[in-house]
Structure 1
Amino acid sequence: MPEKLNILLAEDEAALGQIVKESLETRDFKVDLAEDGDKAYKLAAQNNYDALVLDVMMPKKDGFTLAKEIRQEDDTIPIIFLTAKSQTSDVVEGFSIGGNDYLKKPFSMEELIVRIHNLVQRKNLQKNSELLTIGSYLLNFPKQTLQYEDDELVLLTHREAHLLFHLVKNKNQVLDRSLILNKLWNTDDFFASRSMDVFISKLRKKLAKDDSIQIINVRGYGYKLTC
């Protein structure tokens, strides 16, 4: 029998938090519930979780601040934001600080469960990935690091590492925008598309020491890494 997935749920709405907790537990999850950001941070530091489900608006410490602090310690744990916000800037910020997915309230439990499973499976697949050469750079995908020749290692965020990995795997070919958005963001909507553009810009800067490397925007189709 497969092990139960261990989830940290941070939600300050007591009734909603209890409903989500109990619903996940009936589907063979183990769930710790925190009603504020401070308690959630302490639980994250003390336990090994398979994924974090964080409400954005919480007392003491909001979800974005909490995620930033957790990402300083762990670049790989999947993070899903629960939010009532729909502004583009809020969603892009969530992805930019290391969030892997987001759900707008109200949401269905079935959708939350599917997204948790997809992110955990993706993380597990990373462990079997190899070192990749990109011009004068070396990408260590499992460790999420990038190194130029003998320079110091540059740490990549969870999403930067994933995006670069897929670009390299499809080197000199167009990486379909919609396919990669659905694979890494679980949606190809406007918010995710904006977020992807932000990460592409970050990767271009981190690869700037090798002039032979380019990430080209193929309008209407996606991106292509050439080297």
Structure 2
Amino acid sequence: MVKILLLEDDVSLCEIIEEYLSDEGYEIDACDNAKEALELAYERHYELWILDVKVPRGDGFSLLKELRALGKNTPAIFITSLNTTDDLKQGFDSGCDDYIRKPFELAELGIRIKSLLKRGFSHKKEDFEELGEGFKFSLTSQNLYHFDKIIPLPKKETMLLNLFLQNKNHFLSVEKIFEELWEYGEEPSELSLRAYIKDLRKILGKEKITNQRNRGYCYVGS
């Protein structure tokens, strides 16, 4: 079943949308603030996000920007009363795939969802790297899964795991890792790197990531 995250702080409208989409055969997780939406979108897998913009504890534009920065590419639709051209531009600049101005007909929302999901399923299929013991990493969405449950990772640990998988069975120097993980202006930290390695080993197994003096670190995979 297609799972959709719905962020809408108008209780009546949220219930109406949730009931309509449930009747259409979708599984809905609804929330009313940006902080909870961020946590749900980060921890769970959805085929679509439907986001209001003017919500408590943040706003939809900033929320989507943060999720895109974390490598999350789930299709997103904004539903909002903001209706100027500048608002529309800001919405698409933050990474949305569609933008619906309130008020709207539920049938219109349904049509746009079907169109977006059709494009998403045909162009955004997940490319998984199997890691053993039920773990797999999506090279598409940058999510780590244990069977079908997302295992939340901090941003730099996600980037590090992705880097290791792109260079499987090859040693990466500490300098190379610093270059890839730390942005311009950030101060690289070997202590932080060791903590990221330790956390990944706890999840995947100590034997998965080896290290040698003067050579760096290596992800061991088949």
TM-score, L = length of structure 2: 0.55
Aligned to 1:120: 117
Cα-to-partner distance string for 1:181-218 (whole Å, 9 max, x where unaligned): xxxxxxxxxxxxxxxxxxxxxxxxxxxxxxxxxxxxxx
Change (3 A) 1:19 1:127: closer
Aligned to 1:102: 99
Distance 1:101 1:29 in 2: 18
Code of the residue aligned with 2:92 in structure 1: it is: F
In structure 2, stretches of 5+ residues that fail to align are 126-138, 142-178, 181-222
Q: Conserved in 2, the CA contact under 8 Å of 1:76 and 1:123? A: no
Q: What is the CA distance between 1:73 and its match in structure 2?
A: 2.3
Change (3 A) 1:127 1:106: closer
Name which of 48, 51, 55 aligns with 2:48. 51
CA RMSD of aligned residues (A): 2.1
In structure 1, stretches of 5+ residues that fail to align are 129-141, 145-151, 154-227
Q: How many residues align?
A: 130
Code of the residue aligned with 1:53 in structure 2: it is: I
TM-score, L = length of structure 1: 0.54
Quick check: 1:10 aligned with 2:17? no
Q: What stretches of structure 1 move > 4 A for 4+ residues in a row?
A: none
Aligned to 2:29: 32
Distance 1:57 1:27 in 2: 26
Distance 1:105 1:99 in 2: 16
Code of the residue aligned with 1:64 in structure 2: it is: F
Secondary structure in structure 2 of the residue aligned to 1:33: strand
1:1-227 correspondence to structure 2 within 5 Å? 4-127=1-124
Identity score, percent: 36
